[in-house]
Amino acid sequence: MYTTKIDISHIPFSRYGANLALSAKPANEERTEFNELYIHHAKLRSDGNTMFILKVGLGEPQNFTCEAEPDAVTIKTADGSAKFYIKDDETLIIDSDGLDLRIDARYKWIYGTEYGPDMFRFIMIPYNLQPTYKVLTGKGTILRKPDEKRIAKQDMAFECVDGKLHVCLTLSIKEPKDIPEDIDTEKDTAEIRKEWNEFAELMEDLKSVDEQTDNFTRLTWYNLWSSFVSADGIYKRDTMLMSKKNMNSVWSWDHCFNALAMARSKDKAFAKQKAFDQFMAPFVLQTEKGVLPDMWNPDCEIRWGTTKPPIHGWCFSKLMDMFEFDEEELKTVYTWLKKWTEWWTIYSDSDRDGIPDYPQGCDSGWDNSTLFDASYYVETPDLPAFLIFQMNTLSRIAKELKDEENAKYWEDEAKAMLDRLIEHSWNGERFVGKISISHEHEENPTSLLSMMPLVLGDMLPKEISDKLVAVLERDFLTENGLATEMPTSQHYNPDGYWRGPIWAPSTYLLVDGLRKGGYTELAETVAKRYCDMSCLKAKGNYENFDALTGKGWRAPGYTWSASVYMLLRGEYDKK
């Protein structure tokens, strides 16, 4: 049995497989009181997907305390308490002792009616959402608030009867969902606790550090568990989102870090399955020419026009180090990676010089890196490095399949790409990013992106690696890890997205490359500083972090940050 206290103003409360999530708005800086609960739906992308706002009291809203564990959220005031839990993927149960509640729709264009005794159905346009309330105990009332255009905004009030209120809310897409018949708070929450404890047992054995670190690590594992949604539509397998509040989708590189975190689960059959499920996620949508979408979400959007960097060969190589894959799996991945590699070498090389380019920063994942200040279509050095890794992985897969011809082909392609990268982008001291066609460039780039060829580890010539490592330690290493922009740069911004803050993906890619290149001590230093920053300073797995202070910026429940924390703890802080 594991006790895991969750601050739902940091990490949304949810459970494995669910589309629903709850978060809370603090009423004070100490986060000891709250004034609103937010109800989110992970399939919807609008203002953090907040669909409803829940308040205590039918008059002036009351502040409340809030406690959460994986099975339920409990709020309290002097008048009573209410428990909230997620019964299934789209059903929220509210069990109140003494607290009247109000649930306001977040947006206009919602209309509905009482649909039989104590049943209320709504349609929420344009989100295709079909909310249904069933009042099991207590009283429910629709609050109608038409505006001047007669667009109804209809909220709900719920009153206790004899001190009790029991409500079931379903939030389904396209059509109303039936109300479950077997609602039993004690039984349901016990089943959720059991499900969580079974998942908690799968976390790899890590040495005990101190109570704060141990609790944070357990909470981080919860962060991953609660961010899964069930297979549906274009999610062909159960899939881990970046978050169920903000960024409630999958991007074509975050899933790689989540796959690697799942790969370290103690049950190897489970680990391989969950890791492969996460790895395969974007390839379901791969086009004929090989490009992957930037991001996607069932019943919401698939974003094309931008994509993400080809770190997939790097990721699958690590999975091959951990698991055996059968012939069918290897053939499938080979086809995916071949098409993905050729997308870059054939369709993303504007000047046909053998060095592909990113049309803009978003394609690199480093949206506003200073390497992209000069122009669109920039040949940054990370892209060939990732492709070299991917080509070597293709060669490795071909060898496993006893296809010596293609094994040799991809090995030669990787060597040729490495030679071109050095000839084209190495200035004798560091790698530079060149504008495609003109090849204009800054001789002394200040972005960590220029250091990313270190991901190649011992594939990179030692004399080049040594110079890069010296620059890395001198210009980018802070007390908290690796800044994405030199802190001494005129462009450095502590909350500047990729112009200063520390990010999980760049950290893990470089730590992995440093270790493979023989720079073990530096790899361990960066890993430890990142973990200490997340746990002891920021106290959350934020989207990114202030490189100098360690403060977390924006949502603290991002799964790629949580995954990287688990990976670094497992690889560098294990018994």
Residue extents of the structural domains in the chain: 20-194, 202-572
Q: Please write down the HEC assignment for all residues of 24-42.
A: EEECCCCCCCEEEEEEEEC
Query: What distance in Å separates the CA atoms of residue 498 and residue 478, rounded to the nearest whole number?
Result: 15
Query: Which pLDDT belongs to residue 90?
Result: 96
Query: What distance in Å separates the CA atoms of residue 368 and residue 362, rounded to the nearest whole number?
Result: 7
What does R_g of the chain's alpha carbons equal in angstroms?
25
Which residues of the chain fall short of a pLDDT of 70? 1-2, 46-48, 145-153, 574-575
Contact between 166 and 100 (Cβ < 8 Å): no
Query: Which pLDDT belongs to residue 125?
Result: 85
Q: What DSSP designation does 80 have?
A: E
Query: Which pLDDT belongs to residue 246?
Result: 83
Query: What distance in Å separates the CA atoms of residue 183 and residue 179, rounded to the nearest whole number?
Result: 9
Query: What distance in Å separates the CA atoms of residue 34 and residue 84, rounded to the nearest whole number?
Result: 15
* Three-class secondary structure of residue 528 per DSSP: helix
Query: Which pLDDT belongs to residue 152?
Result: 64
Query: Which pLDDT belongs to residue 408?
Result: 98
Q: Which of 175, 168, 165 is nearest to 120 (CA)?
A: 168
Query: Which pLDDT belongs to residue 405?
Result: 98
Ramachandran angles phi, psi of 428, nearest 5° = 100, -20
Kindly list the distances between the CA atom of residue 523 and the CA atoms of 98, 271, 319, in Å, as whole numbers in the listed order.
55, 25, 20
* Three-class secondary structure of residue 273 per DSSP: helix
In the CATH scheme, what architecture does the domain 202-572 have?
Answer: Alpha/alpha barrel (1.50)
Residue 491: how many other CB atoms lie within 10 Å: 15
Contact between 417 and 387 (Cβ < 8 Å): yes
